[in-house]
């Protein structure tokens, strides 16, 4: 069964550009965030077959009504268990076709199914197939990311009074998630990180039953989804005053590293240079060995998108991309400090989407 979407139009000229450059006859998009980007579909099952003349969305009967409401610029095809058989039955793919595929999103079972349905077909893997196109955000996407971040900013302000002695990490994480929902978030972008004391030295700490004690750091890393687009921010606070001289020195070094990286980031810059700007500050402060991850990552429909902001990245930043800048220092068994903002790349500078202060907050 097939139907036409009520809204017509294609995401720019990316189809012709990719097909021509790869000498392909079509593209098979199986990564669901990319399916959403290309045609608006938000269901959990389906794929997009892109041909030069038209986009074709294939999904199952659970999403028939939903697809009609959401999808633009693509013809909708509704099937049951084996959607590849539906492609074959409708004559949309030939055994002589050369289809570009996203190998990280295709299982071995998927591969066998396509090869069995179309003997002799050329399925050409391209790992970063749509990354560059998806990374540059439309004005509509940027507006949704601003809204997502404004929700997270409001939650940050409102949970500060709840950061009191004795509260457990898991309690504070649950409160953060709940407050996002109250303010209109579709959900959380990732599992909220709340880490007290020595747990803050774990870059991807998971909230547990540890209760907050005095003279301890509080690391909060969270973000939400608003109409598909995400926010991401990290702040490190301190419970009890005054913090130790060492903690304050580490905090100031991380703050300066992030400020330096943000201040130099702009269109045309190598992503690796952003990483270098942050990392070199920490090396100068004698803390380079304790910065154990990349400086950031792309963000949008997914909280981790291309490009990586790392020392070995070959990406060049473009206007309209959104990335995180999040240097951190982690002293094992003692404490960690990370400061993170999502930024929008502009022609000669970048813009922080969060308006939360970055000076040390004492609770």
Cβ contact 72:9 at 8 Å: yes
Domain 136-352 has CATH 3.90.230.10: yes
Closest C-alpha among 213, 171, 230 to residue 335 = 213
> Which of 8-17, 61-70, 118-127, 152-161 bottoms out in mean pLDDT, i.e. has the lowest?
8-17
Asked: is 2-134 a CATH 3.40.350.10 domain? The reply is: yes
For the chain, the structural domain boundaries read 2-134, 136-352
For residue 215, name the pLDDT band (cuts at 50, 70, 90): very high
* Chain-centre distance for alpha carbon 288: 26
Whole-model pTM: value is: 0.93
pLDDT band at residue 93 using 50, 70 and 90 as cut-offs? very high
Query: What pLDDT is recorded for position 80?
Result: 85
Q: What is the mean pLDDT of the chain?
A: 94
Q: Are strands 74-79 and 2-4 parallel, antiparallel or unpaired?
A: antiparallel
pLDDT of residue 226: 98
Residues 230-235 have a mean pLDDT of 98
As a whole number, mean pLDDT of residues 72-94 equals 93
List, for residues 304-352, the tens digit of each pLDDT value: 999 999 999 999 999 999 999 999 999 999 999 999 999 999 999 999 9
Fill in the DSSP letter of residue 186.
S
Least confident range of 1-5, 11-15, 164-168? 1-5
Instruction: Tell me what percent of the residues of the chain surpass a pLDDT of 70.
Output: 96
Burial 38-53 (b: 16+ CB within 10 A, else e): bbbbbbeebbbbbbee
Tell me what pLDDT residue 13 has.
Answer: 67
Confidence label for 8 from pLDDT (cuts 50, 70 and 90):
very low
Distant-in-sequence, close-in-space partners of 93: CB < 8 Å, separation ≥ 6: 26, 49, 87, 99, 118, 121
- What pLDDT is recorded for position 6? 35
In 24-142, the DSSP E strands lie at 26-29, 47-51, 55-60, 74-79, 98-101, 122-125
More confident residue, 4 or 306: 306
């Amino acid at each position: 069964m097939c139907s036409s979407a009520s809204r017509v139009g294609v995401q720019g000229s990316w189809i012709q550009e990719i097909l021509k450059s790869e000498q392909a006859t079509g593209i098979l998009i199986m990564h669901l965030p990319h399916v959403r980007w290309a045609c608006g579909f938000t269901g959990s099952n389906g794929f997009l077959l892109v041909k030069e003349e038209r986009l074709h969305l294939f999904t199952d009967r659970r999403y028939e009504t939903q697809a009609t409401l959401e999808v633009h610029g693509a013809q909708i095809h509704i099937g049951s268990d084996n959607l590849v058989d539906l492609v074959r039955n409708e004559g949309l793919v030939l055994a002589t076709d050369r289809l570009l595929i996203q190998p990280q999103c295709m299982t071995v079972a998927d591969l066998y199914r396509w090869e069995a349905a179309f003997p002799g077909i050329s399925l050409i893997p391209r790992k970063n197939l749509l990354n560059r196109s998806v990374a540059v955000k439309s004005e509509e996407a940027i507006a949704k990311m601003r809204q997502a971040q404004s929700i997270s900013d409001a939650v940050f302000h409102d949970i500060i009074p709840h950061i009191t002695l004795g509260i457990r990490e898991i309690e504070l994480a649950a409160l953060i998630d709940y407050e996002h929902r109250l303010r209109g978030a579709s959900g959380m972008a990732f599992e909220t990180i709340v880490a007290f004391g020595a747990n803050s030295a774990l870059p991807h700490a998971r909230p547990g039953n540890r209760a907050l004690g005095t003279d301890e750091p509080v690391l909060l890393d969270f973000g939400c989804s608003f109409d598909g687009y995400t926010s991401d921010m990290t702040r490190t606070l301190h419970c009890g005053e005054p913090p130790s001289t060492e903690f304050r020195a580490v905090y100031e070094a991380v703050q300066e590293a992030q400020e330096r990286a943000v201040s130099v980031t702009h269109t045309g810059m190598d992503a690796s240079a952003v990483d270098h700007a942050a990392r070199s500050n920490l090396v100068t402060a004698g803390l380079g060995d304790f910065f154990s991850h990349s400086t950031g990552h792309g963000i949008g429909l997914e909280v981790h998108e291309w490009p990586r902001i790392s020392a070995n990245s070959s990406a060049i930043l473009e206007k309209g991309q959104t990335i995180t800048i999040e240097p951190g220092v982690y002293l094992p068994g003692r404490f960690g400090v990370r400061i993170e903002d999502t930024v929008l790349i502009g022609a000669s500078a970048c813009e922080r989407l969060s308006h939360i202060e970055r000076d040390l907050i004492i609770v």
